[in-house]
C-alpha cells in the first residue's frame, strides 16, 4: 500500500529533493532537520523548483500549489507519529544515523517503515538499533532525486519480504526504476562511481592533468553529463569522503580516500554547498577552478 504521509529527516540537498518527489506524486510529506534554517531553505527550494517546472510545462500548473503545500516543515521528530514511511537523509555518518533510528523507533508505531537514503552504510547495521529491524530498508535516491530516474533498494539481512515489497511499490509509484542490491557497503552504484571519482582526485594530486582537462575527459571522452571533479563538488566532497571511508572499512584499501580529498574536507571545501571545492561556485554555477586546490597538488 502506498503511504499517505511520509516523513523525511534531513532537509539538505537530498532530503529537500526527496520531499519534492514525494509531493509531486501526491503524498503528504513532513520535513524535519536538526537545523531549522535547513527546513526553511528546503521548503523554499521545493517551491522554486516546482514553479520552474510548472512554467516550463514539466508539471501541471494547476497542481503546482497543491504539491508545494503537501510538504510541511515540522520542528520536532515527535510530529512524525502519523507517518507510515520515514526516509532519513541526514549526514552520511553511521553514528548519527543510528542515533536517529533509535530515537525514531521509540516514537513511531510497530508498523512504520524506516528507510535510509544512505549511499554506503550497511542497512543491517542501522536496523540493529531499532525495535523492528524487519521494517528497515535502504532507499537510495540519486542526486538530484527529482531528475534522476533510478533508485537503489537495499535489503538488510533482517528486512522482511513485506517491507521490501512496500518499498519497491513506493519507488514505482514515484516513477523510479529500481536497482536491487544486497547489503554490502556502497551497494551497486557507489561501488561503480566512487573509484572513478577517487582516481580523478589522485590525478589532480599527481599533477597528471589540470582539473579542467580531467573533467573534460569525463564529459567529452566518456560522454558523462558532468566531469568527476564537478560531480564530487556537487555530491559534496564531505559526502564523497564519508562514502569512500565506509567502503574502505568493508572492502579494503582500494577505496582509501585520496589525500587531496581528505585535505579538502579538512579545509571545509565541501564543493557547491560551501561555494568552494575543486571549483568555486555561485549557486549551481561553476565560476572557476579553486586556486587553493592547486596549492595542495603534491598531496596526491
Ligand X SMILES: NC(=O)c1ccc[n+]([C@@H]2O[C@H](COP(=O)([O-])OP(=O)(O)OC[C@H]3O[C@@H](n4cnc5c(N)ncnc54)[C@H](O)[C@@H]3O)[C@@H](O)[C@H]2O)c1
Nearest alpha carbon to residue 139 among 147, 121, 130: 121
When asked if residue 117 is in the footprint of ligand X (CB under 6 A), the reply is yes
When asked if residue 126 is in the footprint of ligand X (CB under 6 A), the reply is no
152 catalytic, yes or no?
yes
When asked if residue 232 is in the footprint of ligand X (CB under 6 A), the reply is no
When asked if residue 90 is in the footprint of ligand X (CB under 6 A), the reply is yes
Give the three-class secondary structure for 287: strand
Question: Is the CB of 251 or the CB of 297 nearer to ligand X?
Answer: 251
When asked if residue 13 is in the footprint of ligand X (CB under 6 A), the reply is yes
Residues in contact with ligand X, shown as a per-residue x/- string from 139 to 178 under the rule CB under 6 A: -xx-x-----------------------------------
Question: Is the CB of 115 or the CB of 235 nearer to ligand X?
Answer: 235
Binding residues for ligand X, rule CB under 6 A, total 27
Of the residues 119, 120, 181, 237, only one is catalytic, namely: 119
CA distance to 71, 92, 225, 263, 273, per residue, from 245 (Å): 33, 10, 26, 14, 21
69 catalytic, yes or no?
no
Nearest alpha carbon to residue 4 among 35, 25, 20, 34: 25
140 catalytic, yes or no?
yes
Which of the stretches 30-38, 64-72, 78-86, 106-114 binds ligand X when contact is defined by CB under 6 A? 30-38
Which of the stretches 47-55, 198-206, 232-240, 287-295 binds ligand X when contact is defined by CB under 6 A? 232-240
Using DSSP bridges, classify how beta strands 285-289 and 279-282 pair: parallel, antiparallel or unpaired.
antiparallel
120 catalytic, yes or no?
no
Residue 15 C-beta-side C-alpha neighbours within 13 Å: 31
Q: Return the beta strands (E) in the chain as ranges.
A: 5-9, 28-32, 71-73, 85-88, 113-116, 136-141, 150-155, 177-181, 279-282, 285-289
Q: Please state, in angstroms and rounded to a whole number, the distance separating the CA atoms of residues 112 and 117.
A: 16
Peptide bond into 144 cis (omega under 30): yes
Q: Please state, in angstroms and rounded to a whole number, the distance separating the CA atoms of residues 87 and 117.
A: 7
Residues in contact with ligand X, shown as a per-residue x/- string from 235 to 254 under the rule CB under 6 A: xx--x---------------
Of the residues 92, 125, 140, 181, only one is catalytic, namely: 140
**Active site residues per annotation:** 119, 140, 152, 190
Binding residues vs ligand X (CB under 6 A): 9-15, 33-35, 38, 89-92, 96, 100, 117-119, 140-141, 143, 235-236, 239, 273
Amino acid at each position: 500500500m502506498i503511504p499517505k504521509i511520509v516523513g523525511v529527516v534531513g532537509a539538505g540537498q537530498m532530503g529537500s529533493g526527496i520531499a519534492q518527489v514525494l509531493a509531486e506524486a501526491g503524498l503528504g510529506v513532513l520535513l524535519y532537520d536538526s537545523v531549522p534554517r535547513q527546513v526553511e531553505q528546503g521548503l523554499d527550494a521545493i517551491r522554486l523548483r516546482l514553479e520552474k517546472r510548472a512554467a516550463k510545462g514539466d508539471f501541471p500548473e494547476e497542481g503546482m500549489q497543491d504539491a508545494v503545500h503537501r510538504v510541511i516543515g515540522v520542528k520536532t521528530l515527535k510530529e512524525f507519529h502519523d507517518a507510515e514511511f520515514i526516509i532519513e537523509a541526514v549526514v552520511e555518518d553511521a553514528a548519527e544515523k543510528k542515533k536517529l533510528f533509535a530515537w525514531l523507533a521509540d516514537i513511531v508505531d510497530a508498523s512504520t517503515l524506516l528507510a535510509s537514503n544512505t549511499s554506503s552504510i550497511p542497512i543491517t547495521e542501522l536496523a540493529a538499533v531499532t525495535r523492528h529491524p524487519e521494517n528497515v530498508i535502504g532507499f537510495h535516491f540519486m542526486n538530484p532525486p527529482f531528475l534522476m530516474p533510478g533508485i537503489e533498494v537495499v535489503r538488510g539481512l533482517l528486512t522482511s519480504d513485506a517491507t521490501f515489497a512496500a518499498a519497491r511499490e513506493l519507488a514505482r509509484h514515484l516513477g523510479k526504476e529500481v536497482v536491487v542490491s544486497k547489503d554490502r557497503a556502497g551497494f551497486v552504484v557507489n561501488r561503480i562511481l566512487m573509484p572513478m571519482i577517487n582516481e580523478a582526485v589522485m590525478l589532480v594530486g599527481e599533477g597528471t592533468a589540470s582539473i579542467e582537462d580531467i573533467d573534460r575527459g569525463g564529459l567529452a571522452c566518456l560522454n558523462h553529463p558532468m566531469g568527476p571533479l564537478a560531480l564530487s563538488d556537487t555530491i559534496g566532497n564531505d559526502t564523497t569522503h564519508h562514502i569512500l571511508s565506509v567502503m574502505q572499512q568493508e572492502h579494503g584499501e582500494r577505496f582509501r580516500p585520496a589525500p587531496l580529498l581528505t585535505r579538502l574536507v579538512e579545509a571545509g571545501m565541501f564543493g557547491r554547498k560551501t561555494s568552494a571545492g575543486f571549483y568555486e561556485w555561485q549557486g549551481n554555477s561553476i565560476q572557476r577552478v579553486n586556486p587553493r586546490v592547486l596549492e595542495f597538488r603534491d598531496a596526491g
